[in-house]
Amino acid sequence: MKLLIIILFTAASFSFSQETGRIRGFVTDSTNGESLPFCNVVIDELKTGASTNDRGIFYLNSVPVGKKYNLTISYIGYKTKSVEVEVIKNQLTDISIQLFPLSIELQTVEKIGEKIVQKNKTDIGVEQISIKQLEYLPKGIETDVMRSLQNIAGVRSTGDVSARYYVRGGTSDQNLVLLNGVTIYNPFHSLGLFSVIDPDMINSMEFYKGGYSSEFGGRLSSVLNVVSKDGNKKRYSALAAVSLLTAKGLVEGPIPNGSFIFTGRKSYSTDVLKKFLNDETVPIDFYDASFKLNYSSSDIFNNAKFVVFGFLSSDKIKYDDPLREEYSWKNNLFGFEWLQVYDVPIFSRLGISLSNFEGVIIPNASALKSRNNQLKDFSINYDLNIITASKDEMAFGLNIKLLDSKLFLENKYGVESDLNKFAGNFSFYGKYKFLRFEDFGADIGSRFIITGLNSETSSVPEPRVSFTYRLLPVLALKGAWGIYYQELTAITDESEVISLFEPWIIIPDNMQSASSINYSGGIEYNLSPEFTFTTEAYYRIIHNLPIINDKKYKTTDPDLVSGKGESYGFEFTSKYSDRALNVTASYTLSWAYKEVNNYLYYPKYDTRNAVNFSMDYNFGGGWIASSTWTYYSGLPFTQITGIYDKFYFNNLLDPYGQNGQFQPYQILGDKNIERLPQYHRLDLGITKRTEFNFMNIELGLNIINVYNRENIFYYQRDSGKRVNMLPFLISGTVKIEI
C-alpha cells in the first residue's frame, strides 16, 4: 500500500510548480459535526473556488504562495463564514471549518456568499438535491425522496399512485439506487406508493440522469446516490414525527472517537391511502429502520473513518379474509466502509456489503398467480481518487459482485417458471478528468467487465466521455457519450396498473445483456449569480431489452424475449435562488418507443409534453410557503374496441353435457395506441418552525390537488368505468426535535 501511494504521489506531483501550495478542508455543521456536502468555497483574492464533495471535503490545488488568502464558505441555510489561510510552498494546508446554521427568522436577511461557477465542471445531467428544500415542498402525505425526483426534467411517472420513476425513456428497473454505495433493489413501500428511504436519515443526494461516468455501473438510465447522516458528534438528540400514515423517530449522539444514528418508521393507519387507491381499503403494513456507526481515531489511521451501517424494510398485505391473497417483501442491507484521506492528494474508499431482497405473493383461493423471488448480493468495492498538481484528477476502482437470484412464478396461462442462477461479476474502471484549463474540462474513462453475470458480457468495455467548454464566462457548452450494460432485469408486466413488486433475476444465458448507447448535449447560461438557465438534448438506443413474453403457453417457451428501445427529447430548466425565494421551472419534450417481434409501440410512461414548476418562499418568523404545479400530456393506453360472448370449455367428458359457458371477451386495439387526457395538478404547502423551551417544533399543512382536477388513472376493462387519481386532499405533519 505504501509503495502504491508513493508511486501515485509521484505521478500526482509530476507537474507541480515550486511556487504553489495546496489547501484541503473539511466543512461541518457546528451544532452536530455532520459533514456539509456541496458547499461553495471561494478564494476571494483569486475569484476561484470549489465545492465540497458528498463527504464535505474540498481541495484547492496550485494556489500561489507568498501571501495569506481569505476563504469564504457558504451554504444554503447556514451563516456565511470567512477564514484566513496561509499557503506555504510545497505544503498542504489542512483546515477544518464549522458553519453555524441559521434560524428561520434570520434566513430572510442573511446573504449567501457569492457563488463562483466552476467553469470547467463536467456535470451534464447531474442534480445535487438539497434535503432542506425537499422538506418544504408540498407533500402528498409526507416528504418522499422518490416522488421528489418526478419534479426533475426528463423524469416521468405514471400517476399519483406510484412513486416509480422513468428517466429519459428507460424502464424503472434501469435506475440504480445506492445507499452509502450499496444497491437497494426494491426502494418502494406500499405497492410502490412511497420510498423506503426516510429523508431524515439523508445527508446528501446526487441524481445522475444521463452521462454518468465510469465509477457507476450495472444500470442503463440513471443513478441516485444517497449518503446517510453520520449522527450528531456534539450531543445526544432525538426527533419524533407523525403524519396521517406513519410515525417515526430518530436518535443520534456521540461515542468515543465517533458517532451513531438510529432511525425507524412504521405505518399505523391506512385510511389516507384510500385517496390513492380509489376508496379501496388495502391492509398495508410496513416499516423501515436504519443504523450507522462511525469511528475515527488518529491513533489507528490519520484522516481515516470506519463506518458500519445497516438498513431494513418490510411490507406486508394480509386481508382478514383467508380466501384473499397475501403479499410480503423486504430489503436487508448491511455494509462496512473504510474512508481514507492521505496527506498527499489521494482519497480512497473500501466498501464491503450484503444486500438481500425477498418478495412473495401467496394467492390462497384468489385468482392471483403465485410468485416468489429472492436476490442476494455480496459486493466488495475499492475506489481511489487522485488530484494532481495540474488540477487534473484520476480515479480507479475494482468491483467484485456475487449474485444469487431465485424466482418462481406462474403466468396468466398457469404456466410455471423456476428461474435460478448464481454468478459473479468482476470489473474495474479508470478515468482521467482534464481540469487544468480554465474554460475546458473533460472526463474520459471506461469500465471493463472482465467476468460478467451473463456469459455474453465477459471482456466487455464501457467507454464514457463528458466535457464542458465555456465559450463565455456566463455561457457553457456541455456534452456526454457513453456505453452502458445491465446484466439484471426486473420482471415487469406492462399491463399491470399498479406493480406490486418487480422480481429481480440475472438475465438468462440464452439472452444477451441489455446495453445502451447514450448521447446528450446542452447549454448552460448563468444570467446572474441567482439565475441559471440550462437546456439539454438527448438520444438513447437500447439493445437486447428484456421484455416479458406474454405468449408463453408452455414451459418450454422462453420467459423473456429480446426487444429494442429508443428515446430522445429536449429539456429546458430555469432556476432562481435568492435569500428567501427559490423557483424552479422546467419543460420537457420527449419521445419513447419499444420494439418486440418487429412490433413498435409506446411504453406506458411515454408522454410528449411535461411541465414542472416549484417555488418556496421564506417569510421569516419561522414561516415558509411552497407550491408545485405539474402538467403532462396524456399517457398511452390500450383501448377496448369490442366485446363478444366467448364460449369457454370446462370438461369435454362431462356426462351431463355441461361442457362450458359463455363469458364476455374483450377485443383490444393496438397496444398503447390511444392516449389518456392530459394531467395537471396544483399543490400548496406551508410550514411553521418554532422553538419551545428545549425543543424545536415543525408543523406542516399541505393541500393536494387544490382545484380538485379529475385526472384519469385508467379505465376498468371489465366495466369501462373511469378511475381517477388523487382528489382534493388536506394532510398534515408534526415533527419534534430535542
Burial class (CB in 10 A: 0-12, 13-18, 19+), 151: middle
Assigned C-alpha cell, 102: 441559521
Please list the residues that pair with 613 across neighbouring strands.
585, 629
Q: What span, in angstroms and rounded, lies between the C-alpha atoms of 344 and 341?
A: 8
Q: To the nearest 10°, the Cα dihedral for 383, 389, 391, 392?
A: -50
At 312 the pLDDT is 96
Nearest to 503 by CA among 358, 328, 356: 358
At 5 the pLDDT is 47
Chunked into runs of 10 residues, the chain (738 residues) has average pLDDT values of 47 53 87 87 83 84 83 84 85 86 51 54 82 74 84 88 88 94 90 85 89 91 93 92 90 94 90 72 87 89 91 90 86 94 86 95 81 94 89 93 92 83 94 90 94 85 94 92 94 71 87 94 90 95 91 85 94 89 94 93 93 90 90 87 60 53 67 89 91 85 92 75 84 88
Alpha-carbon torsion 264, 269, 275, 281, what sign? positive
- The length of the chain in residues reads 738
Residue owning grid cell 455501473: 217
Question: Looking at the domain covering 19-99, what would its CATH class be?
Answer: mainly beta
Q: What is the Cβ-side half-sphere exposure of residue 432, based on CA atoms within 13 angstroms?
A: 6
Per-residue CA distances from 148 to 157, 438, 491 (Å): 11, 34, 25
80-89, long-range: CB < 8 A, 24+ apart = 80/110, 80/111, 80/112, 80/113, 82/44, 85/23, 87/20, 87/21, 87/22, 87/23, 87/63, 88/21, 89/18, 89/19, 89/20, 89/21, 89/65
* CATH no. of 224-638+673-737: 2.40.170.20
Residues 6 or more apart whose Cβ sits within 8 Å of residue 208: 125, 126, 127, 216, 222, 223, 224, 225
Q: What span, in angstroms and rounded, lies between the C-alpha atoms of 257 and 303?
A: 12
Read off φ and ψ for residue 146, nearest 5 degrees: -65, -40
Using alpha carbons only, give the angle 192, 198, 203 rounded to the nearest 5 degrees: 130
730, 719 in Cβ contact below 8 A? no
- Decide: helix, strand or coil at residue 364: coil
Q: Greatest CA span in the chain, whole angstroms?
A: 105
Using alpha carbons only, give the angle 103, 108, 109 rounded to the nearest 5 degrees: 95
At 303 the pLDDT is 84
152, 207 in Cβ contact below 8 A? yes
Q: What span, in angstroms and rounded, lies between the C-alpha atoms of 152 and 150?
A: 5
Residue owning grid cell 399543490: 683
- DSSP secondary structure letters along 252-271: EEEETTEEEEEEEEEE---G
Please list the residues that pair with 219 across neighbouring strands.
none
154, 209 in Cβ contact below 8 A? yes
CB atoms within 10 A of CB 576: 16
Residue owning grid cell 413474453: 549
